[in-house]
Structure 1
Amino acid sequence: MKHLPWPRTTMIARFILADPALNPQTSQGMAAHGQLPELAFQLSKIRQSFVSRLVDRCLEIEALALNIDQTGVQPQLVEGIAQRAHKIAGVASTLGFAALGKLAERTDAAMTRVRSQDDWHDSRALLEDLLNEIENVLDSQADR
């Protein structure tokens, strides 16, 4: 089979992507190609995996926060919270947990500014909001 020159290949790809019925990345295109049920199944598995990891992340964040409360601000503890919040922020909104994603993003950003005990106290309420939202998500998913 002869390859089309690059500009024509791009033009054909744009044509396919512009037509929802031909584009396998749209719901119409997926349905036409029988991919919608498989995609829904795969997303469900990813979502379940994310929720199951949230339990561990919540406990880890809480343990790190309690350690800071008791021993003071230590860069590795603050960074540990930031890393876990960053991981949550990167996926939560995509999987339908918009409020969790926004709180995790804000918490991640706030942790980068924590340098002293006063900074920690300023960020602690936001961290508590994140932990509460994680618990809300876990409670909502337990019913499923």
Structure 2
Amino acid sequence: MSNKKTIGQQLFDILDYIDQYDKKRKLESVNCFINNLVMKWNELDKEKFNERNSKIIIVRIINEMVKLQKESEAEKWFSILAKISPKSPDYAIYFLKGEMYYKLHKYNQAYQYFKISYDKNKSFFLRQDVEYINFLTSHNK
């Protein structure tokens, strides 16, 4: 019998690593954390693209890249997110891209993505952070 962990167990280990980082943030730099997270992701086999928990990990990597102002890296991870099944609804992806550009202070691009997300699924958009709702409505005037 093999002691090899299933892909689900491996993803859980990465989620646990993220949780531990969140609890003890000061013990590891953001750069070190993101490098370790990417390394752990890259070590997984192709089955990772068929697991829902992979989305959580990828979105976290995107968010960390945005915090580090690494726009091109964040964009690269959006393309990886697109490979994961089941696919995320396009309105959610447009929202995440809008959020990324908003945090990068690229407001024209943020508006474009938020508007697409809103047009595709108004109820989804209106359940998001009020800051983004106010941003969209203030630009619609």
Q: TM-score, normalised by structure 2?
A: 0.32
Q: TM-score, normalised by structure 1?
A: 0.32
For the pair shown, which has the larger CA radius of gyration, 1 or 2?
1
